[in-house]
A and B are shown apart, each in its own frame.
Chain A
Amino acid sequence: MQMVKKGALIFMAVWFGVLLFMPKAELYYTLEKTLAKQDIKLNEKSIDEGLFSLTLKDVTVYMKGIALAHIEELDFFTILFYSSLDVYNLEVDEALHTKMPALTKEASFSHGISAPLIVSIDANGTFGMVEGEMNIMDKKVHIDFVKVENIGMIQPYLKKGKKGWFYEKSF
Chain B
Amino acid sequence: MKNLFKPEMLKILVGVLTFVLILKLLWFVAQIVWLSPLDIDQEEDQSSKALYYRVKLTPNNIVAPQKVVKQPVKKIVGSIKELKLLAIYNATDISVVTVEYRAKSKVLGSGDMINGFTLEGAGGNYAIFSKDDKNYKVMLSKNGKASSSTSSIREVPKEKIQTIEKKALGEVTNEGDIKIIDRSLLEHYAENMEDIYKNIGISEMKEGNHLKGFKINFVRKDSPFAKLGIRRNDVIKSINGQEIKSYNAAFAVYKNIKNVDNLSLVIMRGKEEMELEYEIN
Interface residues in chain A, defined as those with a beta carbon under 8 Å from any beta carbon in chain B: 13-14, 17-18, 21-23, 26-27, 29-30, 32-33, 36, 41, 43, 47, 60, 62, 64-67, 93-95, 98-99
- Flag the segment in B32-40, B61-69, B169-177 that touches A: B32-40
Partner of B36, one of A17, A33, A60: A33
Can you give 8 contacting A-B residue pairs, CB < 8 Å?
A13-B19, A14-B23, A17-B23, A32-B39, A43-B41, A43-B42, A64-B247, A65-B45
Q: Would you call B191 an interface residue if the criterion is a C-beta within 8 Å of the partner chain's C-beta atoms?
A: yes
Please state if A95 and B247 are interface contacts (CB–CB under 8 Å): no
- In Å, the complex CA distance between A64 and B248 comes to 8
Decide if B125 is an interface residue (CB 8 Å cutoff).
Answer: no
Chain B residues within CB distance 8 Å of chain A: 16, 19-20, 23-24, 27, 30-31, 34-42, 45, 191, 193, 246-248, 251, 254-255
B248–A67 contact, CB under 8 A?
A: yes
CA distance A18 to B26 in the complex (A): 9
Total A-B contacts with CB atoms under 8 angstroms apart: 64
Which of the listed residues B23, B30, B38, B246 has the most CB atoms from chain A within 10 Å of its own CB?
A: B23
Inside 8 A of B40's CB, which chain A residues have their CB? 29, 32-33, 36, 41
Other A-B contacts than A64-B247, A65-B45, A95-B255, 4 sampled, CB-CB below 8 A, are A17-B20, A26-B37, A29-B35, A33-B40
Taking the nearest CB of chain B, how far is it from the CB of A123, in angstroms? Answer: 24
Give A60 to B44 CA distance when docked, in angstroms. 11
With the chains together, A107 CA to B27 CA distance in Å?
Answer: 31
Bound-state CA distance A14–B20 (Å) is 9
- C-alpha spacing A21/B28, complex, angstroms: 9
Known: A18-B23, A22-B27, A66-B248. A29 touches B255 (CB 8 A): no
Chain B residues, Cβ within 8 Å of A26: 31, 35-37
A26 to B36, CA, bound (A): 6
Q: Is the CB of A21 within 8 A of B248?
A: no
**Given A30-B36, A32-B36, A43-B42: A98 in contact with B191 (beta carbons within 8 A):** yes
Beyond A29-B35, A29-B37, A41-B41, is A66–B251 a contact (Cβ under 8 Å)? yes
Would A65 and B42 count as touching, CB distance under 8 A?
A: yes
B39 touches A95 (CB 8 A): no
Task: Verify A21–B42 contact, CB threshold 8 A.
Answer: no
B35 proximity list for chain A (CB < 8 A): 23, 26-27, 29-30
